[in-house]
Each structure stands twice: as C-alpha cells, then as structure tokens.
Amino acid sequence: MDYKPTMQCVWFRTDLRLADNPALSAALANQIPTIAIFVASESQWQQHNKASIQIDLIKRRLLELEKELHSLNIPLLVLSCPWFKDVPLQLHTLCKNLGISNLFANKEYEADELSRDADVVTQLSDVQCDFYDAKCAVEVGKVLNKTHQPYKVFTPFKKAWREYFYQHFPTIKKVTASVQLSSPQIDLLQRYHDYTFTGSISNESKAWSVSNKTVVNTMRQFCREKSQQYHEQRDYPAIEGTSQLSPYLAIGAISAKQCILRLHLEANNQLTQGQEIWLDELIWREFYTHLLHFYPLLSKNHAFLSFEKYIQWNNDHDKFEQWCKGETGFPIVDAAMKQLNTTGWMHNRLRMITASFLVKDLHIDWRWGEQYFMSKLIDGDFASNNGGWQWCASVGCDSTPYFRVFNPTTQSERFDNKGEFIKHWLPELTTLTGKLLHQPDSKPLLKPDNYLVPIIEHAIQRLKTLDIYKNAKAQSVAT
C-alpha cells in the first residue's frame, strides 16, 4: 500500500498574494505540511471574456508567487482544467493521490464560480473544505440595514460599512513558514508536473510589475504622496492622479484591506478630503461585490432594475465597431478607446464617458460594452465592471438617473481642456486648439482630412434617449 501522509492544500484564485490571505493563514495555523495549487481554466476564461493582457499578468504573477511560497516551504502546482466543470474531478484525484485532508480557498462571488465551488465540496466529500472572505475589507454579508437586508443605495451602505470597519478595525497577521513536506510527500508530488499555459507568456502586461515588493511600494507611495490630492486630480486623464492599483486588486496581488490600512497609517488616522474620496472608491468596489452576493442574477446578464427589459436598444453593429476602434469622430471617446485597446487600461472618468456614449448616444445594449471592456481590461473585475456599466446605463443599483446623459464635447472641454490626453492618442489633431480640438467638425474647412466626421449628433441622440427610457418605464408600470 502506498504511503500517503496527511497534507493540506491552499487553492489560489483571485488572491495571488501571501499577505492578508485568510485561506493561507488558516492553513498555516494547522502546522501541517502544505501545498498550493492554481487551476487554469482557459476555455472558461475565454467564455467569460477575460482579457489576454490580464491572463498574461496572472501568469507572470504566478511565477513570482511560486518563489514567495517556496520561501514558506510550500510548493505551487498549476493545474489545467479547461472548464470549471472539469475542476471537481481533477481536485478529487489530486486530493486522493496526495492524501490531502483539508482544502482552503478564498471565496469568489460570480455565479459560475459559486457553482464550481459547490460541486468541488460535493466531490471532495472526504476532504474538509473551508472558504474565506478575502476580496473585501469588510466581509460580505456583514453590512446590512436595520431590517437585515442588503443596502441598495451606496451612501447608506458606505455609512454602515465605515461604522462596521472602524468598530472592528482589522489587522494583518504576519505570514509564517509551513511545516516542511516529508521525503515521501515530496516523492508523491513528483507525479505532478506544472501545467504549461497555452502558449508562452507573452509579456503583454510587462508595463505592470508583478513583484510583491514593487506592488506594495506602489500602494505605499500613492498613499503617502498622491492620495491627498486625489479629489483634485482623479478626473483628469492627462494627469497620473489615480493609484494605478486596480490591476493588482483585480487579480488579488494586493487586497483592499492592505490599501485601506496603509492609507490610515500614512494619514495617522486623520484622512484628508482626497484620502476620504479614494476610500469611497474602494468602498464602491465592496458595494458591487456585496450586490453580486445578494443578487446572483447580476452574474447572468440581468439588470438590477426590471424596467431595463423594455428598453428598445438600437444595437447597430457598424456603430458598435466604430466605438470599439475609437472611430466615432468624438475626440475624447476615440482617444479613450485607443488607450484601452493599446494598453488594456482606461482612466475612470473616460470609462464613464465612453460607456455613456455607447448606451445613450448610440443606444447600444450596455452588455455589449460590458463584455468588450472585460475582453480588453487588465483590471477587469466582474463586479466592478458590471456595476459600472449598469450605473452608466441607469439600470443598476443606485445608478445615475436616466436623464443624465454625458455630453462628450463638454466632458472633453472640462477634463482635457488643453487636449494633452487627446493629442497623445490622436496625433492627427495635434494642430487643433480651443473648442475646435474638442469638436473638430464645427469648422469643416479646418478639420484634419484624416479625422472622422462624428457618427451621430449628440443633441438629437440625447432626446431619443429620454424617449426610449420614458417609454420603457411606462411599459414597465403598465405591465
């Protein structure tokens, strides 16, 4: 009979870090030899529109995580399960062959991920499976209203979140090394060879460091040097006024809790206006994750507000392609889309402008934009991306009123007045100044020949939007 000594397993997912990792900490507390796994489900990722640049970031981060885990006496296995449905049997075989008694993992809240995890627990009937909350600084389900129901409006959620957070002010425990694997256990692991990701690492994400030291230093530097001016600089895409941490939050290379604790440490617990607003942005991420937990239909292409099903979307494929390529004839929209397509990242103000343009100027289903963003964003996070798109489309929880329609020209004039951002991404407009830069078609004789005529007239489309939403609401009430 083969010798199969007891060991335990930590399953890494969207939590690719050692610090503030509850699943890892719980495993280490047992003082049992430990291995770590990551399951690559590339077919499922493709179906979920996961961006290739984010997949590359994950691959590169895993190489660093492997080194970090090695320092804790924990080997990392990367397994291939093309689809989530393949995961339960694969883990069952792994646990059986290696004599794994406990499986630790941090929760994911999307519908397919929840279904996968439920099937894993069923399949691993002889293994103790424990799941923890690692994504949010306040555990999902802890922030409820007086009737013990989830909040549907951000402001009261924020107030309750802050109250809970400060009453239970968290700390982050230092990570200690695991008990070393025995020689027989090491021999058993030799049966498993690290999975080679489909294709080699492309370094598409090379602009983003995956070193834990660099990521943490980036967070600390922002909290120390830039967070106080966040409220003044965050809306201007030509300024590096944001934290640049969203890709790391998305893959879990750093946690929201780490960010928030560092912010308070740098501020000596006396947050300035800019720091308060950055904290609010982190709480918005928590709000959307909490909603995903309580309203699973959000993971299944459903809008939060039921009247949305009566909206008559135009869904013009040609105009959608022009939006995707940054060929709308509206400089701020086109520059933003070129930034996204080139770098895999887009400034937050521009995400609102481009989303509003797609939904309320082109009258194209917000889901098309949501999926396109996910297919391009290095910081694609389903809860935040879905919540943001529903907010812009006025069909989400505590979303912008439907009659609020961003004017792309005035947004451009306000947030990129000198055109520094626009000219960077649209060099054909370099010679333009003033209002002409933001609306080149206003003087056709002066408009560069190599720049497009606007594909719509905003004023007309705005009126159509008001009618479309009014009709949808009226139809919803009538039924």
pTM: predicted TM-score of the whole model, two decimal places: 0.95
Residues 346 and 455 in one domain: yes
Residues 248 and 117 in one domain: no
Pairing of strands 128-132, 34-40: unpaired
Residue 387 lies in a domain: yes
Residues 15 and 65 in one domain: yes
245 annotated among ligand-binding-site residues: yes
66 annotated among ligand-binding-site residues: no
The amino acid at residue 204 is: E
Residue 369 lies in a domain: yes
Residues 66 and 163 in one domain: no
Q: Measured between alpha carbons, how far is 372 from 358 in angstroms, rounded to an integer?
A: 11
Residues 236 and 325 in one domain: no
Residues 353 and 425 in one domain: yes
Task: CATH number of the domain at 248, please.
Answer: 1.25.40.80
Range of the domain at 424: 308-478
From residue 54, how far is each of 19, 162, 292, 371 by CA, in Å?
21, 31, 21, 14
Catalytic positions: 281, 284, 313, 348, 366, 389
Residue 198 lies in a domain: no
Q: Measured between alpha carbons, how far is 68 from 218 in angstroms, rounded to an integer?
A: 19
**Count of domains for the chain:** 3
Per-residue pLDDT of the chain (479 residues; tens, 9 = 90+): 344 458 999 999 999 999 999 999 999 999 999 999 999 999 999 999 999 999 999 999 999 999 999 999 999 999 999 999 999 999 999 999 999 999 999 999 999 999 999 999 999 999 999 999 999 999 999 999 999 999 999 999 999 999 999 999 999 989 999 999 988 888 888 877 666 665 678 999 999 999 999 999 999 999 999 999 999 999 999 999 999 999 999 999 999 999 999 999 999 999 999 999 999 999 999 999 999 999 999 999 999 999 999 999 999 999 999 999 999 999 999 999 999 999 999 999 999 999 999 999 999 999 999 999 999 999 999 999 999 999 999 999 988 899 999 999 999 999 999 999 999 999 999 999 999 999 998 777 677 878 999 999 999 999 999 999 999 999 999 88
Residues 317 and 238 in one domain: no
Q: Which residues, other chains included, contact 383 with Cβ-Cβ below 8 Å and sequence gap of 6+?
A: 109, 110, 285, 288, 289, 291, 292
Task: CATH number of the domain at 100, please.
Answer: 3.40.50.620
Task: Mark which of 87, 115, 134 sits at the end of a domain.
Answer: 134
Task: Mark which of 227, 262, 294 sits at the end of a domain.
Answer: 294
From residue 229, how far is each of 124, 257, 414, 419 by CA, in Å?
50, 21, 18, 21
Residues 150 and 273 in one domain: yes
284 annotated among ligand-binding-site residues: yes
The amino acid at residue 436 is: L
379 annotated among ligand-binding-site residues: yes
18 annotated among ligand-binding-site residues: no
Q: Which residues, other chains included, contact 134 with Cβ-Cβ below 8 Å and sequence gap of 6+?
A: 15, 20, 21, 22, 23, 106, 107, 252, 255
380 annotated among ligand-binding-site residues: yes
- For residue range 342-367, list pLDDT tens digits in order: 999 999 999 999 999 999 999 999 99
Task: CATH number of the domain at 411, please.
Answer: 1.10.579.10
Residues 395 and 465 in one domain: yes
- For residue range 369-428, list pLDDT tens digits in order: 999 999 999 999 999 999 999 999 999 998 889 999 999 999 999 999 999 999 999 999
- Count the neighbouring beta carbons within 10 Å of the beta carbon of residue 472: 19
Residues 277 and 344 in one domain: no
Q: Mark 87-104 as b/e (b = at least 16 C-beta within 10 Å).
A: bbebbbebbeebbbbbbb
Residues 152 and 128 in one domain: no
Residues 329 and 282 in one domain: no
Residue 20's region, left for phi above 0, alpha for psi from -120 to 50, else beta, is: left
358 annotated among ligand-binding-site residues: no
